[in-house]
Structure 1
Amino acid sequence: MSGTSKVVALVLLSAHLLHASALPAASSYEFNVYRMQQYNLQQDKYGCRGAIVVAEARSAADNSLTRRCVIMKLPDFTEERYLEAKKQNAAAVLILLPKNISAVPPEIVQSFMAAESQVLQKETLMPVYVAPEDEQLLCMYEEVNHAAATKSASALVRVLRSIISTTAFQILVSSSPIKPITDTTIIALEGFLPGAGEDPPTIVITAHYDTFGLAPWLAYGADSNGSGVAMLLELVRLFQRIYSDPRSQPPYHLLFTLTGAGKYNFLGTKRWLEENMDRAESSLLHDNVAFVLCLDSLGNGDELFLHVSRPPKPGTSQFSFVLELEQVISGRFPWVSFGTIHKKINLQETTVAWEHERFGMKRIPGFTLSHIENSKSELRGSILDTMEQVDIMKLRRNVVIVAESLGRFIYNLTDKGSSKDTQVFKNSLDVQDSRLSALMSMMTSIPRAVQLLDREPEHVLLINSLEQEFRYYLKQVYRHTFHLDRSITYAEEFSNPARGKPTQPRPSSAYRRNNPHPRPDFLMPRQLQTGCGSQRHFQTTTPISFLPPVRHISVQFPDVQTGESMQSSQKDSKARASTAVYTLPPAGWLLKPQRTDVPHSSMINTQG
Structure 2
Amino acid sequence: MTLRPSTAAIALLLCVQSLHGSALPAVSSYEFTAYRMQQYNLGQHKYGCRGAIVVAEARSAEEPSLTRRCVIMKVEDFTTEKYSEAQRQNAAAILILLPQNISSIPHNAVESFMVSESETLLMETLMPVYVAPEDEQLLCMYEEVKQAAATRTSSIFVRVLRSMVTATAFQILVINNAPIKATNDNAIITLEGVLLGAVEDAPTIVIAAHYDSYGLSPWLSYGADSNAGGVTILIELALPIHCKITKFNLMFSLTGGGKYNFLGTKRWIEENLDHAESSLLHDNVAFVLCLDTLANGDELYMHVSRPPKPDTPMQSFIQQLEEVVSSRFPWVKVGLVHKKINLVESTVAWEHERYSLRRILGFTLSHLEDPKSELRGSMLDTMSKVDFRKLKRNGIIIAEALARYMYNLSDKDIQDSRISSLMSFLTSVPRATQLLDKEPSHILLVNSLEHEFKRYLLHVHRHTFRQDKRDPDITFFDQMSQPIVMYRVKPAAFDLFLGGCIAAYLGIVYYAIQNFGFLYTKIKAAVKTKHH
Amino acid across the alignment from 2:195 = L
Matches within 5 A, 1:278-357: 278-357=274-353
Aligned to 1:525: 498
SS in structure 2 at match of 1:232: helix
Amino acid across the alignment from 2:459 = Q
Amino acid across the alignment from 1:98 = P
Provide the rounded CA distance (Å) in 2 between the counterparts of 1:22 and 1:329.
Answer: 67
Could you say if the C-alpha distance between residues 496 and 24 of structure 1 is closer, same or farther in structure 2, counting changes exceeding 3 Å? farther
Q: Give me the TM-score of the superposition, normalised by structure 2.
A: 0.87
Matches within 5 A, 1:326-475: 326-412=322-408, 423-425=410-412, 430-475=413-458
Could you say if the C-alpha distance between residues 494 and 47 of structure 1 is closer, same or farther in structure 2, counting changes exceeding 3 Å? closer
Structure 1 contact 166–522 (Cα < 8 Å) conserved:
no
* Max Rg structure: 2
Amino acid across the alignment from 2:287 = F
Q: Shift of the alpha carbon at 1:155? A: 4.1
Provide the rounded CA distance (Å) in 1 between the counterparts of 2:418 and 2:26.
Answer: 48
Structure 2 contact 26–490 (Cα < 8 Å) conserved:
no
Matches within 5 A, 1:109-258: 109-155=110-156, 157-158=158-159, 161-162=162-163, 165-175=166-176, 176-241=178-243, 243=244, 249-258=245-254
Structure 1 contact 304–337 (Cα < 8 Å) conserved:
yes
- Name whichever of 249-258 and 161-170 sits farther off: 161-170
Could you say if the C-alpha distance between residues 522 and 250 of structure 1 is closer, same or farther in structure 2, counting changes exceeding 3 Å? same
Aligned to 2:478: 492
Q: Shift of the alpha carbon at 1:177? A: 2.3
Provide the rounded CA distance (Å) in 1 between the counterparts of 2:62 and 2:278.
Answer: 63
Amino acid across the alignment from 1:373 = E
Q: Shift of the alpha carbon at 1:527? A: 9.0
Structure 2 contact 27–489 (Cα < 8 Å) conserved:
no
Cα-to-partner distance string for 1:361-402 (whole Å, 9 max, x where unaligned): 111000000011111111001111111111111100000000
- Name whichever of 111-120 and 232-241 sits farther off: 232-241
Aligned to 1:41: 42
Aligned to 2:7: none
SS in structure 1 at match of 2:350: coil
SS in structure 1 at match of 2:28: coil
Q: Percent of pairs identical after alignment?
A: 65
Q: Shift of the alpha carbon at 1:437? A: 0.6
Amino acid across the alignment from 2:499 = R
Q: Give me the TM-score of the superposition, normalised by structure 1.
A: 0.76
Matches within 5 A, 1:529-540: none
Could you say if the C-alpha distance between residues 250 and 174 of structure 1 is closer, same or farther in structure 2, counting changes exceeding 3 Å? same
Provide the rounded CA distance (Å) in 2 between the counterparts of 1:253 and 1:529.
Answer: 88
Amino acid across the alignment from 2:483 = P
Structure 1 contact 23–140 (Cα < 8 Å) conserved:
no
Aligned to 2:520: none
Q: Shift of the alpha carbon at 1:484? A: 2.6
Provide the rounded CA distance (Å) in 2 between the counterparts of 1:75 and 1:407.
Answer: 45
Provide the rounded CA distance (Å) in 1 between the counterparts of 2:135 and 2:502.
Answer: 35
Amino acid across the alignment from 2:398 = V
Amino acid across the alignment from 1:178 = I
Amino acid across the alignment from 1:526 = G
Q: Shift of the alpha carbon at 1:260? A: 0.3
Aligned to 2:530: none
Aligned to 1:12: none
Structure 2 contact 78–116 (Cα < 8 Å) conserved:
yes
Q: Shift of the alpha carbon at 1:99? A: 0.4
Cα-to-partner distance string for 1:423-458 (whole Å, 9 max, x where unaligned): 323xxxx10110101100111011111111111111
Matches within 5 A, 1:580-595: none
Q: Shift of the alpha carbon at 1:348? A: 1.6
Extract unaligned runs of 5+ from structure 1.
1-17, 244-248, 414-422, 507-518, 531-608
Provide the rounded CA distance (Å) in 2 between the counterparts of 1:331 and 1:196.
Answer: 31
Could you say if the C-alpha distance between residues 142 and 330 of structure 1 is closer, same or farther in structure 2, counting changes exceeding 3 Å? same
Could you say if the C-alpha distance between residues 123 and 524 of structure 1 is closer, same or farther in structure 2, counting changes exceeding 3 Å? farther
Extract unaligned runs of 5+ from structure 2.
1-18, 504-532
Q: CA RMSD in A?
A: 2.0
Q: Which has the higher contact order (CA 8 A, sep 6+)?
A: 2
Provide the rounded CA distance (Å) in 2 between the counterparts of 1:528 and 1:409.
Answer: 88
SS in structure 2 at match of 1:196: coil
Aligned to 1:596: none
**Structure with greater proportional helix content:** 2
Aligned residues: 479
Cα-to-partner distance string for 1:438-484 (whole Å, 9 max, x where unaligned): 10011101111111111111111111100000111100111111113
